[in-house]
Amino acid sequence: MSNTRLCQTTLAALPAGIAAPAYDRAGVTPGIVHLGVGAFHRAHQAVFVDDCLNRGEAGWGIVAASLRNADTRDALAPQDNLYTYCERDGRDERLRVVGSILETLVAPESPARLIERLCDPRVRIVTLTVTEKGYLANLSERRLMRDHPDLVHDLENPDAPRSIHGFLLAAIRRRRAEGAVPLTLLSCDNLPANGTVLRLLLTEFAHISDPDLADYIASAVSCPCAMVDRIVPATTGADRLAVAHGLGVADAWPVVAEPYFRWVIEDRFPHGRPGLEASGVEFVDDVEPYEHMKLRMLNGAHTAIAAIGQIAGLATVTDIYAEVRVRAFVDRYWREVASTLSPLVSGADYVAGLRTRFANPALRHRAVQIASDASQKVPQRILAPLLELRRDNRAHGAVMMALALWIRSCAARNEAGEPIIIQDPAFNGWTAPDQEFLPSEAVIERFLGFDRVFSAPCRAEPGFAAALTAAYHTIRTKGVLTAIEMAG
Ligand code: CS2
């Protein structure tokens, strides 16, 4: 019933103090198609685009697509695609209704409709948050997993694809034929050199499916790299109740986030972009220094903290980070990793902010969420700085311990003997050793054979296996909290 649910007609009756679109949504036209409409997109990009629409840039509405299931569309359609962005700093809560999403699609229901929207001549940018696994690639080698069932399917069904590569190629092919301006593809996923990687993978896919398009992509399609930063935990039932209480109407799909954000983008938009800088988004020539800082400091520490939580049976980042030994360990981890960062970025300022952000009691960011797909996160978050530190002969005991923590967190049981939940399809497809019954050396040897994480040069590095075994063995014999106290 529209009078009990957030939607266009209930907007006018929202309590004072709740921001809502000040623009005429009917006059907004699509300029962006977003692939992967999860909570992060709705708490980050969609909010800043909403700012642009509020400033009168009516040509940048978003058509958002889920590539998998219908949950988001089913929740947002009865709400005219409106939803609440709820910002919590641990003391106060601010609610804002966001109107930048004009339409939500479910790609598997109608791939043709998504291709249609991607080919709308008014659309100039495609943004993506499909997570690491959405790229269907061996990310350390920047190559497609060519035998992935979705890619095999897309090669046979170019007009009804399933993968981002299939959709993007279908759109690029048709836009070129129809003379529409080339798309700018903006990856907003936590991958190093995300735009470059997207371009490489897409070009590889073009080479095997439509070689003619490979040259066109190289010459006409811009793929700027971007660093995105904002902690957005999965929305809970309690969040929905709290938001409904504040709004006076129900919202089936609100998002909850911290106030902090950063979005740094390479300014390569040959066919235009919204004026996001007015919202504090930064445009630079080279994103790499920012991306290393964020992936290695925030995400690396997150992965280590999540592993500690999984091993010790602690549920949320705030709970885990409240433990003094964890805070001291993470400080040492940051000190080690900071020495791999470019002098162009201030690791010290970033760390000061991270301490407050990780302690935010209002976020309830669950370890199991961050630990999901860890095998696709560890290489860029932990292994890359670790190998640099070893190459340069710098202190790296805490970073090595973080790697060992991930390995221990892949065991069947935590330290209390309870089962550990592992949501990591790439890892589950590999035969993980049953750690409990193997000596530490054998566990590490088996893990080092997992080539999705450990590349050949890493395996060949003298002393690497021994140092990792020692860190892992300490966790096993002394317990996780003592092990991290001893590391670094
Ligand atoms: C987290 C990130 O789930 C995870 O892997 O580390 O989602 C993290 O919260 C964001 O990257 C923060 O910007």
pLDDT of residue 2: 41
Answer whether 118's CB lies under 8 Å from 126's CB.
Answer: yes
Cα-to-centroid distance, 373 and ligand 1 (Å): 12
Gap between the Cα atoms of 11 and 155, Å rounded: 45
pLDDT of residue 289: 97
Gap between the Cα atoms of 93 and 133, Å rounded: 33
pLDDT of residue 433: 76
Report pTM: 0.96
Q: What is the mean pLDDT of residues 42-59?
A: 98
Per-residue pLDDT at 458 exceeds 90: no
Per-residue pLDDT at 434 exceeds 60: yes
pLDDT-based confidence at residue 247 (cuts at 50, 70, 90): very high
- pLDDT above 70 as % of the chain: 99
Nearest CA to ligand 1 atom 3: 370
What size, in residues, is the chain?
Answer: 488
Q: What mean pLDDT value characterizes the chain?
A: 96
CATH 3.40.50.720 in the chain, residues?
8-284
Locate the DSSP E strands across 303-381.
none
Per-residue pLDDT at 296 exceeds 60: yes
CATH number of 288-486: 1.10.1040.10
Which residues share a beta bridge with 179?
A: none
pLDDT of residue 436: 86
CATH fold, domain 8-284, is Rossmann fold (3.40.50)
Which residues share a beta bridge with 419?
A: 413
Per-residue pLDDT at 1 exceeds 60: no
Helix boundaries (H) for 252-323: 288-293, 300-312, 317-321
User: pLDDT tens-digit profile of 71-106?
Assistant: 999 999 999 999 999 999 999 999 999 999 999 999
Cα-to-centroid distance, 14 and ligand 1 (Å): 32
**Choice from 231, 258, 263, 366 to test ligand 1 binding pocket (greatest atom count within 8 A of CB):** 231
Pocket of ligand 1 (CB under 6 A): 190, 229-231, 298-299, 302, 369-370, 377
Nearest CA to ligand 1 atom 6: 299
Gap between the Cα atoms of 195 and 190, Å rounded: 11
Instruction: Give whole-number Cα distances, 332 to 107, 205, 350, in Å.
Output: 44, 42, 15
Q: Which of 117-126, 418-427, 429-438 has the highest mean pLDDT?
A: 117-126
Cα-to-centroid distance, 370 and ligand 1 (Å): 7
User: pLDDT tens-digit profile of 147-181?
Assistant: 999 999 999 999 999 999 999 999 999 999 999 99
Answer whether 354's CB lies under 8 Å from 301's CB.
Answer: yes
pLDDT of residue 284: 97
Nearest CA to ligand 1 atom 13: 229
